[in-house]
Amino acid sequence: MLDRLVERGLLRREDKKTLDVFRTTVTRAADTRHAEALVGRVRAALVDGVEPDARTATVIGLLSASGTLPSLHRSVPWSGTVHQRAKRLEQASWGAKRSTPRPPTEQARSAPERAVSLSGSV
């Protein structure tokens, strides 16, 4: 994934030496406009209460679930309200949704039963 971001020009790699012995590669933002725009959308959703688009809601959900959302404290002031909004988005169904409802018989079966019947074993 990092390679693709480097190819798109969003990140750049820098080779460094520590203590003139250890070589390391550091990945930095090549253009901060993208990150600033994303943080702005996250802030608008969490602080200002603006309804986020699907991509921003997904990013907020991932940041919240991973515990890294408070690291944005300079841009997104941490509060109880921000925490609650982030948790709501984290727990929301922001994945793909089924376009047609399941038949009642399929809803009643357990997940393992559905898996077995889909595999053709039963």
* First and final C-alpha spacing in the chain: 40
What's the number of CA atoms in the CB half-sphere (13 Å) around residue 35? 11
Position 43 in a domain: yes
| One domain, residues 4 and 26 | yes
37 and 81 fall within a common domain:
yes
Q: Give the H/E segment covering residue 47.
A: none
Whether 120 shows a pLDDT value over 60: the answer reads no
112 is a domain residue: no
- Give the model's pLDDT for residue 3: 84
Domain match, 82 and 70 both? yes
* pLDDT of res. 115: 47
pLDDT at residue 110 above 70? no
Helix or strand run (H / E) with residue 11: strand 11-18
In this structure, the answer to whether residues 37 and 26 fall within a common structural domain is no
Identify residue 5 by its one-letter amino acid code. L
Same domain, 22 and 47: no
Assess whether 42 and 80 both reside in one domain.
Answer: yes
- Give the integer Cα–Cα distance in Å for 51 and 41: 10
Average pLDDT over residues 90-110: 57
3-12 pLDDT, tens per residue? Answer: 888 888 878 8
From CA 2, how far away is CA 79, in angstroms rounded? 32
Same domain, 84 and 64: yes
